[in-house]
Amino acid sequence: MAAVDELAAVAARVAGEDAVQVGSTAVCGVVPAIVVAPESVAAVSETLRWAHGRRLAVVPTGAGTKLEWGGVPRRIDLLLSLGRLDAVVAHRHGDLTATVQAGAPLGRVNELLRREGQWLPLDPAYAARATIGGIVATNDAGPRRHRHGAPRELILGVTFVRADGAIASAGGIVVKNVAGYDLSRLLTGSFGALGVVVQATFKLSPLPPASRTVVAAGLNSGTIEGAIRAVMASQLTPSALEVQGPPFALLARFETVQEASERQAEEVAALWRGCGAADTRVLTGAAETERWTAHHDAVWGREDDVCRIGLLPDQLPGLLEEFAGLLRHHGVDGQLAGRVETGALHARIGSDAAASQSIVDRLRLRVEGGGGHVVVLRGSPALRAKVGPWGAMGDAARVMDAVKRRFDPEGILSQGRWPFAEGRA
Amino acid sequence: MNIDERFLRALRDIVGESGLIDGVADRITYESDALTHLRAVPGVVVLPVSVPQVQEVVRLCHSAGVPFVARGHGTGLSGGALPVEDGVLIVLTRLDRILDIDAPNRRMTVQPGVTNLEISRRAAPFGLYYAPDPSSQQVCSIGGNVAENSGGAHCLKYGFTVHHVLGLELVMPDGALVRLGGPVPDTPGFDLVGALVGSEGTLGIVTEVVLRLLRLPEDVRTLLAAFPSTDAAGAAVSGIIAAGIIPAAVEMMDRLTIEAAEAAVHPNFPQAEAVLIVELDGQRAEVDALFRRVESVCREAGASEVRVAADAEERARFWTGRKAAFAAMGRVSPDYYVQDGVIPRTKLSEVLRRIRALAGRSGLRIGNVFHAGDGNLHPLICYDGAVVGQAALAADVGGEILQYCVEVGGSITGEHGVGADKAAHMPKMFSEVDLDTMQRLRCAFDPSGLCNPQKIFPTPRLCGEVPGPYRAHPAERAGLAERF
């Protein structure tokens, strides 16, 4: 790799004088040589064309809230910041769609959409600061995934810059469209390994007129299983159905017209009390908002290790019990929060590398048999080196490897975040 | 290479006498899917009964360099299952087993030949159903739904096939078997399930599908509203969306399609310039509150009549009228061509005006049926194949309508797929670079280009080795193809 000063000088010619910065905070202990923040899609394209020719290792970034997730980058010659591409390009409120640049923070996007009574119904980790590009790159979703789905369910089209600098689009701006391959979904959750997303179009939702949340707290494993089964068997239509703990609580949110929201909240409260959940309360207004903030912060509020767990919903009660037992056994703090019906969870494990390693191993043993997985999103490089961030990928890894080679033959994008083809960069 | 005696013997060894069709008269049966004006008699047809048989057939094709096309029940409307004349047609209708119903987790695992409606039928005893409901759901196979990312009337609220497929088993174009995704969410790695659904059979052959099922809603309410114009009906749709309501379905039919449906299945629709069918479903209290709003929005938009389905039977009658609309055109025209385009919903009036003008100019009648909630138009272009030049004129008219769709930011296909029919229209929507980028995905799966060739892309491309030094392909040297 060339000297940093020379890199910076050339980058300044390519992307503009004010776009380049030497030195940056480390990403998982890897210090980027330079940071480039292009001010236009064309400049992103020019930067990548140059980086591709020089085989520089490039990692795209937005607000950096999820930059340390996944595999540890092996080398970062160029941290490519999309922060200056932060426009809401179009809000077609009559069509319930919006096109947004990658660097726009979700919080600000939703402030704008709110003017027409709409929103992009995503509530990922660090939702206010997290940028559209990062949310797409990680396919990160929160409690409302229960009703609205993850980003891959809402994305309609994408514009991205390929590793070689070419600007490509797929999908479109309409909600229904099957023309061509769905590269929007391929890029969603690809952790910046296949291309640099510069713009995406999403399906929006009307803002719900009213909201109620029912919280059943202090549940033991017997009552929690009954309470989950009761709500799953009912005709209730929550927008979120979450578990959090230990000690375990269930949360059901009803976002709809006032009357239906009230009625359903009362109904689920009665159901849960009937299952032995004595401490069941209906929240609204500020108390409700506060409770959901606490729910988010239970996992994301500390700089601890965090895993993403995917499992079949009926494996959940057993997993909760095992997770609580493992924390007790190792004497570490930890919290789990996730979507009961989807089977998508996040688990925070207090920072103790040895305990984390043992807990991740045990959780993998439990869920992998049923097709589940435990991914280490955030953790010390030592933990990730020991357990492997992704876990088993099966025979699909061969196909992913082939896809990576076709999209990034030189292997310059997000090296190390995935275990796939690294090319020659 | 061509299909010769040795190749046929090898195929027969794999699928047996009963699984192979090589007589000309029998092969003609498979010359098209439901888009009947595109035809090609396949070189040979095989009907495997097991996944290993599919793998063996594909391996054989791969090693012999013979192109192959997968086909389900042949209900596709874009020629996506159009055979290759010197290739193998792999018919998957005998892979029709339901492999697993996991009611507690709301999952079902099925083979590709299972029909769409059968899935919901088998899920019903558990209070569950499969949401995507293309009009052909009684006969179309789930494998075809996966290939085309099929929608249906209810995708406004519930999404398309891609939102309901969790995992796939795929026979790769070299015969290898891989599992993509699975029964749990967020399988680590790239979202290859997302990329596969809607890839029109060009990336491999799906041999197993893990589906997400939904709970049957507590309440379903349906109304039929008659309007003095399509503009007024369109205004009602806008009003519903603006009120923050996402109905399960909003369908619109214009006068010509209403008349055709009346003649064919007698749904007793009102005489009007346009009718809307609006359906809400979900929890009772919610549906109650929202349904009242929908009724008043329709009246405010000038509905001359609003009928609320009193029971399941009346609701079924509304839907019979709508779902029969395509076939019913046969009652008012000797031939018709179903177009499938998408526009941003707010451009409805503008685009309909242009379509009306086009009908006047071309002299062909054009009926309109649409999934109005999501802007998916299905113009039905009436023509008489017996009149010289009319079929070609109908195709031109169809192409022009697609141009209108693209000009307002829409798509050349919302649910029928590009297939062989619309490959030439792809450059209307996508640049050369966009198409090249999509081809990279194809090259990752099918570097030899044998799997359902000549679909989706207007220009065939060679994949080349990646990475590695450049070597010219023989066809490239001969100037028959270009490389990207």
Which range is least confidently modeled, A7-21, A110-124, B217-231, B393-407? A7-21
Shared-domain flag, residues A59 and A98: no
Look at residue B483 and tell me if it is in a domain: no
Share of chain B above pLDDT 70, in %: 96
CATH of the domain at A197: 3.30.465.10
CATH of the domain at B366: 3.30.70.2740
The token duo for B444 is: 């990752």
Rounded distance, CA B48 to CA B54, Å?
Answer: 6
CATH of the domain at A74: 3.30.43.10
Confidence tier at B470 by pLDDT (50, 70, 90): very low
Shared-domain flag, residues A311 and A242: no
Cβ neighbourhood burial of A209 (10 Å; 0-12, 13-18, 19+): middle
Give the per-residue pLDDT at A379: 92
Domain extent at residue A157: 88-206
**A89 CB near a chain B CB, below 8 Å?**
no
Shared-domain flag, residues A291 and A215: yes
With 50 as the cut, is the pLDDT of residue B252 above it?
Answer: yes
Give the per-residue pLDDT at B1: 59
CATH of the domain at B189: 3.30.465.10
Shared-domain flag, residues A250 and A179: no
Give the number of other Cβ atoms within 10 Å of residue B139's Cβ: 15
Shared-domain flag, residues A199 and A259: no
Confidence tier at B107 by pLDDT (50, 70, 90): very high
Residue range A218-239: average pLDDT?
93
Chain A residues whose CB is inside 8 A of the B191 CB are 139, 152, 185-186, 188-190
Of B217, B238, B426, which has the smallest distance from its Cβ to A180's Cβ?
Answer: B426
Chain centroid offset of residue B394 CA: 21
Residues 298-317 of A with CB under 8 A from B: 308, 310-314
CA of B159: which chain A residue's CA is closest?
Answer: A153
Asked which of B330, B349, B369 is the last residue of a domain, the reply is B330
Rounded distance, CA B382 to CA B366, Å?
Answer: 6
**A386 CB near a chain B CB, below 8 Å?**
no
Of A179, A237, A391, which has the smallest distance from its Cβ to B282's Cβ?
Answer: A237
Residue range A390-405: average pLDDT?
93
Task: Render pLDDT for A187-227 as a digit per residue (tens, 0 to 9).
Answer: 999 999 999 999 999 999 999 999 999 999 999 878 999 99
Confidence tier at A25 by pLDDT (50, 70, 90): confident
Give the per-residue pLDDT at B465: 64
Task: Render pLDDT for B276-290 as a digit per residue (tens, 0 to 9).
Answer: 999 999 999 899 999
Q: Is-contact A307 A375, C-beta < 8 A?
A: yes
Residue range B163-172: average pLDDT?
98
Shared-domain flag, residues A182 and A201: yes
Contact state of A178 with B375 under an 8 Å Cβ cutoff: no
For A191, list phi and psi in degrees, rounded to 5.
50, 40
Rounded distance, CA B376 to CA B340, Å?
Answer: 7
Chain B residues whose CB is inside 8 A of the A259 CB are 285, 289
Confidence tier at A17 by pLDDT (50, 70, 90): confident
Task: Render pLDDT for A121-175 as a digit per residue (tens, 0 to 9).
Answer: 999 999 999 999 999 999 999 999 999 999 999 999 999 999 999 999 999 999 9
Shared-domain flag, residues B326 and B341: no
Look at residue B310 and tell me if it is in a domain: yes
Place of tokens 């980027």: A32
Look at residue A407 and tell me if it is in a domain: no
| Interface-testing mutation among A99, A178, A236, A384, with chain B (most B C-beta atoms within 10 A) | A178
Asked which of B314, B330, B346 is the last residue of a domain, the reply is B330
Number of structural domains in chain B: 5
Alpha-carbon distance B20 to nearest alpha carbon in chain A (angstroms): 31
With 60 as the cut, is the pLDDT of residue B408 above it?
Answer: yes
- In sequence order, what are the residues at sequence separation of 6 or more whose Cβ sits closer than 8 angstroms to the Cβ of residue B157? B246, B247, B248, B249, B281
With 90 as the cut, is the pLDDT of residue B425 above it?
Answer: yes
Chain A residues whose CB is inside 8 A of the B104 CB are 313-314
Give the per-residue pLDDT at B466: 59
Chain A residues whose CB is inside 8 A of the B241 CB are 94, 96, 206
